């Protein structure tokens, strides 16, 4: 049984906005079939006694402690940031125009 039909492949190519020659379609269809067949083989593997991974890497905290004064400055409130901005109108920040 075919895992993917020519019609489905053409539809996927259309969605991806790629144009395929007849030769490319046949080659891609064969390649996709092989990939999907490999996934079917993976489904058959018994993993019932294998505990799932929860991460894969061991990471360590590379940031400074939160009591660092510079870090506290970065965590300023919205009001602090608005107050520090040079030009403002109510709660809106004025910036130079991008387009003229």
**Cα separation, 75 vs 14, whole angstroms:** 47
Reported as a single tens digit per residue, the pLDDT across 49-92 is: 888 777 667 677 677 666 656 556 666 677 777 778 888 887 78
SS3 73: helix
Are the beta carbons of 32 and 26 closer than 8 angstroms? no
Domains along the sequence of the chain with CATH: 6-43 (1.10.20)
Phi, psi of 79 (to 5 degrees): -65, -40
Residue 1, burial from CB neighbour count under 10 angstroms (0-12, 13-18, 19+):
exposed
Reported as a single tens digit per residue, the pLDDT across 29-54 is: 999 999 999 999 999 999 888 887 77
Phi, psi of 47 (to 5 degrees): -120, 20
The reported pTM is 0.46
């Amino acid at each position: 049984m075919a895992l993917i039909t020519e019609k489905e492949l053409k539809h996927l190519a259309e969605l991806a906005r790629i144009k395929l020659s007849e030769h490319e379609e046949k080659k891609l269809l064969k390649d996709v079939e092989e990939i999907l067949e490999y996934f079917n083989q993976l489904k058959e593997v018994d993993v019932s006694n294998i505990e799932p991974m929860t991460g894969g890497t061991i990471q360590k905290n590379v940031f400074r402690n939160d009591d660092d004064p510079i870090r506290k400055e970065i965590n300023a409130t919205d009001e602090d940031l608005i107050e520090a901005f040079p030009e403002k109108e109510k709660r809106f920040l004025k910036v130079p125009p991008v387009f003229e």
